[in-house]
Structure 1
């Protein structure tokens, strides 16, 4: 398995070739050869670290978080505010080799889906599975209010009210919010400018996740079924948009079960 996306150092494949690491992927490399690699695409304004921590409870799974320019350790880089450009920049810099899967939450679900579509268009290896969370099927009309151009205080209030995505202690810290709001604006610009282009269903199984108290409805999630020709399942959790913050164990149990078929027997652990 090639590991050119390893964070922090160059990597080698089994032939001894060396690759430059991708700045898009963050995460501590687990020892040995993982059974499967899980790439996590964060929500609007989110950081890779929240998702990298999932790896602590997924034996045999190497977890990397996707970090776009303009945030985290890439804060000094110009942000990308258009979906096609974001996807192209990621794929031009990062080589995925399997078995691997994508997990995306909210905006991350849409980005992961479009990355998989572009991998298919380029004739590159596809993820063994797409695990997409808390985002309506992309062909549905967009009904959400535009947020990208709101003043800082209104944007903060809107994100807290709609998604609960900013902890109260963070939202009340003006200096910290000054650092975080540009990432939210960038991501909402991507969402607000996104236009779905019809295409053939992906030959990749889809697992669609969502909270039963989220504004994203079960009906909107079920519509993802038209975007795969290789199997479709939905998983509902107790909670809102960030259901996994309320009950991390429920998400971990589901991820273990979903990823287990793609791992060598020796690499599986804790699956249900």
Structure 2
């Protein structure tokens, strides 16, 4: 008698095992250089929801894999291995908002089941022009200075460990290159409700967030929270109340 083989784990999805079936699923696309574990922990604030963190190649448990710096390549590779379990929402923070949006566009183009909500956080509407220097090619010291300025700094225990830095910095470089290489292609609005989140003290302006209205034929809601770019680290409970169905 042969022993049934276990289903292959999807390397794109990080989540906690459950003993009961969830009522819904939330798939979270991290910010630049972010790891999925931060978002998986949100599950304790979202009753009945299975939370998955999306892990791109080149970071976390996938550091041995080549990073992807082209948006089409990311989305096509993700969908080649992933079927989102309904009912589900997609959430993306910062760069993750753009990846979640492009993933939803590709799902629509393929006629696949769409999320019940697309939740985008701390990122301007994708059609808006972007300005700023290219960061992906900066020397390590300059890149670390940018991270300290824009992302609240690298934790001291990582900054003091060259081996950890050697793992962290390539992920940031790849994500910055992913954004730098991105070119918005005009498309019709999605038939998906949009939830737009942002921090009141973030550099992303209310006008940049309101511009997301262009990308949905369904209702669009915007919520502002106290705090900066990582507002959810200050009051996750308030954010969870919006994420809950």
TM range (shorter): over 0.9
Q: Deviations over 1:196-218 (max 9, x none)?
A: 00101000000000001111111
- Pair 1:81–1:178, CA change in 2 (3 A): same
Is 1:161–2:149 an aligned residue pair? Answer: yes
**How far does residue 165 in structure 1 lie from its aligned partner after superposition?**
5.6
Contact 1:29 1:62 in 2 (8 A): no
Is 1:205–2:193 an aligned residue pair? Answer: yes
**How far does residue 164 in structure 1 lie from its aligned partner after superposition?**
1.7
Aligned partner (choices 140, 151, 162) of residue 139 of structure 2: 151
1:124 match: secondary structure: coil
- Normalising by structure 1, what TM-score? 0.85
**How far does residue 166 in structure 1 lie from its aligned partner after superposition?**
3.0
Instruction: Give the root-mean-square deviation of aligned CA atoms.
Output: 1.3
Give the match for residue 22 of structure 1.
Answer: 10
Unaligned stretches of 5+ residues in structure 2: 1-5
Residues 248-263 of structure 1 correspond to what in structure 2 (within 5 A)? 248-256=236-244, 259=245
Residues 189-200 of structure 1 correspond to what in structure 2 (within 5 A)? 189-200=177-188
Aligned partner (choices 205, 218, 221) of residue 217 of structure 1: 205
1:21 match: secondary structure: coil
Aligned counterparts of 2:153 and 2:183: Cα–Cα separation in 1: 24
2:51 match: secondary structure: strand
Aligned counterparts of 1:76 and 1:181: Cα–Cα separation in 2: 14
**How far does residue 251 in structure 1 lie from its aligned partner after superposition?**
1.3
Residues 237-256 of structure 1 correspond to what in structure 2 (within 5 A)? 237-256=225-244
**What is the count of residue pairs matched by the alignment?**
240
Give the match for residue 231 of structure 1.
Answer: 219
Aligned counterparts of 2:120 and 2:30: Cα–Cα separation in 1: 11
**How far does residue 34 in structure 1 lie from its aligned partner after superposition?**
1.0
Is 1:125–2:125 an aligned residue pair? Answer: no
- Normalising by structure 2, what TM-score? 0.94
**How far does residue 57 in structure 1 lie from its aligned partner after superposition?**
1.4
**How far does residue 243 in structure 1 lie from its aligned partner after superposition?**
0.7
Unaligned stretches of 5+ residues in structure 1: 1-8, 11-19, 260-272
Is 1:91–2:79 an aligned residue pair? Answer: yes
Give the match for residue 94 of structure 2.
Answer: 106
Contact 2:89 2:116 in 1 (8 A): yes
